[in-house]
Amino acid sequence: MAKKVLVTEKVADEGLAILREKGFEVDVKLKLSPEELIATIPDYHALIVRSVTKVTREVIEAADKLRIIGRAGVTVDSIDVEAATEQGIIVCNAPTSNIVSAAEHTMALMLACARNVPQANASMHAGEWGRSRFVGVELYEKTLAIFGLGRVGGLVAERARAFGMNLIGYDPYCSPERAAQLGVTLYNDVDTIVPLADFITVHLPRTGETVGMFGPEQYARMKDGVVLVNAARGGVFNVESLANFVAAGKIGAVGLDMFEEEPCTDSPLHEFSNAILTPHLGASTVEAQRRAGMQIAEYVAAGLEGSIVPTALNMAPVPPEVMDAVGPYVPACQVMGRMLAQMNGEMPKNLKLTAAGTLADSDTSILVAGTLKGLLSYKKVATVSPVNADAVAQRHGISVETFSQSDAGAYASAVSVVADGTEVACTMAAQSQMGRLVSLRGYKLDIAPAAQSLVFEYVDAPGRVGVIGTILGDAGINITTMQIGTKPEEQCALVYVNVEGDVDDALLTRLRSELTDLKNLWYIKL
C-alpha cells in the first residue's frame, strides 16, 4: 500500500510531481482548521507545510503513522520539534531554497530606501512631477554593516561588493577566513560598528540575544541619515524607538520585510513615507517557491524510503545497533559541549573527540553532533544533527577530529572531548544511564554534573575547601555534591562543586578575592 503524504499549504506542482512519480499518494488539503488537521493526520505518513500550518504537540500526538514533517522553506517555528522528536518523527526543511530571493529583496529594500523609489512612484501616480523632493544617495563607496554572515548575509555581501560598497560585519560565529573570503572586515561588538555604517542590514536568527538587539542606545550611536534594512527576522529592531529616531530625522530611511507579529497592518512606522514596508516577501519569488517545493519533496521522499535526510533537524540516520551503543552518551556529550562553551568563552577552533572502550568501533558522528549542539545551543546559534554537523562546524570555523582507543582505563567505555586544549571526559553510570564526569583539564574526577556548578582550580594547600564552604554558606548557597582532583606534579587541585542557590557576580568576585593562589574559577549552568 502506498505511503500517504498530506500537503496543507500551496506547494509547487513540480514538488508534488516528484512525490507522485516515486509512488506516494499525495493529498492537498488547504486551509484546514486545527481541529480538522488533528482529525485528518492519523491517516498520513508524511506532512508538508509552509509557515501558516501550526504543527502542534496535539497534532503530532494524533499522528499515529507520521514519520516525517517537511517545511517547504527555512524556519520551523510553526512546528513543535521537541514533540516530533519524542515521537521519533523527522523534521526537515529546505534551508537554501530562498536564500537568493532573500538576498535580492534585501538589496531591493536598500536601493528603494536610497533612491526614494516608492515615494517617487506614489507621487507620479498622483499626477505630480516632483524631482527635487526625491534626491537620493548612491550605494557606491558607502559603508554597509552586515549583522550575520550566514547564507543570506554572505550573498548580500557579494552583491553589495559589486555595487562598490565598503563592507564591515558583526557575527561572533563567523570565522575570520570566511569573512576574508567575503571581503568583510569583522568587528567584535555592536557599539563599535554601528557608528561606522551608512547602511545596516541584519541577517540574524530570532533568539533571546537578538530580539531588541537594536534599541535607543544603538540608534543614537548611528550616523545621521543611516539606512536600516531587515529582511531576516522580526523583533531585531525595536520598532517603537526606531519610529522616534525616524521622526527626528536621525535615521534616514528604513526597509522592513519582517515584523515581530505577522500579519502586521499597523505599527509606529506606518505613518512615515521613508519607512519602506513589505509583507514578508523575502521568499516570495517564483524561483524560490519552486525550489522549496522540489527540495522538500526530495527530502520527504528520502525520509519515507529510509534514506538520509540531508536537512533533518532532529533525527540521526544511525542504525539501531549503533544508536544502542552510543545513544546514551549523546546527552552527556551535549553537557560537555555546554561546559566547554562556558569555560572557554569563545568558539573553539579545534575540537577532538575520542571514543574509548566498547565505543571504540562505533560511528561517532552522533557524538560529535551532540557535542557541537551543546557548544552552539548554549549561544542559541544553530540546530545540529549528525547530518548537518560537518556543515555547522565548517560554518563556525571549527576543525573536528575523531579518534578511538580500545582502553577506557577503569571504565567499560568513555568519551573525551578536547576543545582548544581544554579537556573533559565522561562515562555512563551503568544502572542510572547518567553521564558522570571522569576528567576535567586532566584532573581525575567522578561526579554527575548538576544544573549549576562552580569549578575551582588553584595551587593546592590546606584550608582551601574550608574557605570555599564558608563563603558559599555566607551567601546561602547549598553544596549538594563535591569532588576534588589533584595534580601532585603541579601541586594543583581542581574542585568541582554542584550547588543550589543564586550565584551572582558579587559572590564570584568574593571567591576570586579571598581564595589565594586561585588559577581559574568557572560558574557553569547546564
CA distances from 127 to 112, 121, 124, 385 (A): 20, 10, 5, 57
Closest CA to 295 of 97, 151, 25, 16: 97
Quick check: is 161 catalytic? no
Q: Other C-beta atoms within 10 Å of 304: how many?
A: 21
- Contact between 32 and 74 (Cβ < 8 Å): no
Closest CA to 160 of 126, 189, 198: 198
Separation CA 29–CA 119 (nearest Å): 40
Closest CA to 204 of 258, 241, 160, 150: 150
Separation CA 378–CA 215 (nearest Å): 24
Question: Reduced to 3 DSSP states, what percent helix, strand and coil does the chain have, rounded to the nearest 5?
Answer: 35, 25, 40
Quick check: is 396 catalytic? no
Quick check: is 280 catalytic? yes
For residue 204, the Cα-to-chain-centroid distance in whole angstroms is 9
Rg, Å, the chain Cα set: 27
The amino acid occupying position 455 is V
Is residue 36 within a helix (H) or strand (E), and if so which, with residue range? helix 34-40
Among the options 233, 395, 436, 464, which is catalytic? 233
Among the options 280, 290, 423, 510, which is catalytic? 280
Phi, psi for residue 414 in degrees, rounded to 5: -165, 160
User: Peptide bond before 317: cis, by omega within 30 degrees of 0?
Assistant: no
The amino acid occupying position 276 is I
CA distances from 41 to 1, 5, 319, 451 (A): 17, 10, 27, 38
The catalytic residue positions are: 233, 262, 280
